[in-house]
A = this chain, B = another copy of it.
Amino acid sequence: MIIKKQSIKMNEELIFELDRSDPLAGQRSQFSLPDGVIYLDGNSLGALPITTSARLKQVIEGEWGKELIRSWNTSGWYEMPRRIGAKIAHLIGAQAGEVIVADSTSVNLFKVLAAATQLRPERRLILSTSDNFPTDLYMAQGLIQLLGRGQELRLCNDTEVLDNINADTAVVMLTHVNYRTGRMLDMRAISAKAHEVGALIIWDLAHSAGALPVDLTGAKADFAVGCGYKYLNGGPGAPAFLFVAERHQANFSQPLSGWMGHNAPFAFDSNYTPAEGITRYLVGTQPVLSMTALECGVDTLLHVDMEQLRRKSLQLTDLFIRLIEEYCAGQGLTLVTPQEHDQRGSQVSFQHEHGYALMQALIARGVIGDFRAPDIVRFGVTPLYLRYADIWNAVQIMADILSTRDWDRPEFKQRAAVT
């Protein structure tokens, strides 16, 4: 069924047929999802895999409680950053030795941005987009200020990236899928343009890894970072990952030169010698419990055909857009996610004047999405555990809230610390 074809009005029978014929329908059983909730926020915090709780109990009570310190060797804790990195590499078109799990996305961005700028010392421009996720911009600002070498962070619109890459550009630092609009950039074309002028490229895969096929090798990407707690289902604040193309690994030793990135951490030398390969991007000891949950999350994706996942993702977002057109017309929603498949990630976002209150009203009715300042309601679409019926039901609830102005209540306007 082609959802974009609008010759007949969508109805529940057609929706049920979409779910019945969904080859990924069985994947939902990998997750524990609460009753009465339609979860459209897996791009903020992925759902809980059914394996995670038992695995954590085993690690806590057995590996930590009984084996104690010995588990660094006997339970494979020491290898976790590389082992989970290799699994993520499989999802983003990288080689096993090019990805490592460590720290947060922000800290990892600092490492690769330090590497990339030092590999282009004669150039002073770091190019990004003005609507990039703020922490990426903040980390660049922090590095530039620390170095004090007159480097400049130049920002452009996300539709004008290609035009802004030139011979002064040291590094192009972009997020593949925009957190607010869901717009996906052309990784291959932009990477090629960066290389054509001699610049390096860093991709932030926070909203792509685990959401859609990524081909870092095909795009000849230089560096990448990404998030463990969104589409990788790694749990709240799960450690992040980073990618360094094999060709760059030996050329630079990143400045957060902690002992876990040392060539021989347990020799306790007083001078830093970087480890071979991607390991030099480790800093301190990694949080094993959170790493364990991340591995359970990554494992939910390992045997999924990413092309099939992408087809379902586009079907779901197409359906969402079409149903909003059919059921919420004239209610002040403006689609900000691109209609074109090759420019869309795995989310749908709308502007609405009362976006914050609208999202609170939705959450009160069990439809959990996200608000992104100043006025965007954002719905993450995670094809592993969402059904077509979820999209249908979410839109019916949204239509009801909008037509009754149910969002216009004082309790929906109080801002929480985290939005």
Which residues of A are in contact with B by a Cβ distance under 8 Å? 32, 34, 37, 39, 41, 44-45, 47-48, 52-53, 56-57, 60-61, 63-66, 68-73, 77-78, 103-107, 110, 114, 130-135, 137-139, 141-143, 145-147, 155, 180, 229, 235-240, 253-260, 262, 265-272, 283-291, 293, 363, 368, 370, 372-373, 416-419
Closest to A267 in B: B373
Taken together as a complex, chains A and B put the C-alpha atoms of A130 and B268 apart, in Å, by 11
Taken together as a complex, chains A and B put the C-alpha atoms of A259 and B69 apart, in Å, by 34
Taken together as a complex, chains A and B put the C-alpha atoms of A61 and B143 apart, in Å, by 39
Task: Return the 8 tightest CB-CB contacts between A and B, nearest first.
Answer: A104-B284, A106-B258, A142-B257, A287-B290, A106-B284, A236-B288, A135-B259, A146-B255
Closest to A34 in B: B66
Given A262-B134, A289-B235, are A256 and B417 also a contact pair (CB < 8 Å)? no
Residue in A258, A260, A262, A419 whose Cβ sees the most chain B Cβ within 10 Å = A258
Residue in A133, A266, A284 whose Cβ sees the most chain B Cβ within 10 Å = A284
A106 adjacent to B48 (CB under 8 Å): no
User: Across the interface, which residues of B come within 8 angstroms of A105, CB to CB?
Assistant: 284-285
User: Across the interface, which residues of B come within 8 angstroms of A147, CB to CB?
Assistant: 146-147
A138 adjacent to B68 (CB under 8 Å): no
Closest to A61 in B: B53
Quote the shortest CB–CB distance from A297 to chain B (angstroms): 11
A48 adjacent to B34 (CB under 8 Å): no
Chain A, interface SS category: mixed
Quote the shortest CB–CB distance from A253 to chain B (angstroms): 8
Taken together as a complex, chains A and B put the C-alpha atoms of A235 and B56 apart, in Å, by 12
Given A32-B65, A270-B155, A416-B73, are A104 and B37 also a contact pair (CB < 8 Å)? no
User: Across the interface, which residues of B come within 8 angstroms of A260, CB to CB?
Assistant: 106, 135
Taken together as a complex, chains A and B put the C-alpha atoms of A52 and B293 apart, in Å, by 15
Taken together as a complex, chains A and B put the C-alpha atoms of A72 and B236 apart, in Å, by 9
B283 adjacent to A104 (CB under 8 Å): yes
Quote the shortest CB–CB distance from A274 to chain B (angstroms): 10
| Sample of 4 further A-B pairs with CB below 8 A, known A44-B69, A138-B257 | A34-B66, A73-B416, A73-B418, A138-B262
A107 adjacent to B258 (CB under 8 Å): yes
User: Which of B68, B139, B155 sits near A257, CB closer than 8 Å?
Assistant: B139
User: Across the interface, which residues of B come within 8 angstroms of A73, CB to CB?
Assistant: 416-418
User: Across the interface, which residues of B come within 8 angstroms of A44, CB to CB?
Assistant: 69
User: Across the interface, which residues of B come within 8 angstroms of A65, CB to CB?
Assistant: 32, 34, 47-48, 53
A45 adjacent to B68 (CB under 8 Å): yes
User: Across the interface, which residues of B come within 8 angstroms of A289, CB to CB?
Assistant: 56, 235-237, 287, 289-290, 293
B256 adjacent to A106 (CB under 8 Å): yes
Residue in A60, A254, A265, A372 whose Cβ sees the most chain B Cβ within 10 Å = A60
User: Across the interface, which residues of B come within 8 angstroms of A34, CB to CB?
Assistant: 65-66, 68
User: Across the interface, which residues of B come within 8 angstroms of A290, CB to CB?
Assistant: 287-290
Q: Could you list 28 examples of A-B contacts with CB < 8 Å?
A: A34-B65, A37-B68, A41-B68, A44-B69, A56-B56, A56-B289, A64-B236, A68-B368, A69-B368, A70-B368, A73-B416, A103-B284, A105-B285, A106-B259, A106-B284, A107-B258, A107-B284, A141-B271, A142-B254, A142-B257, A142-B272, A143-B255, A155-B270, A235-B288, A236-B285, A236-B289, A266-B417, A266-B419
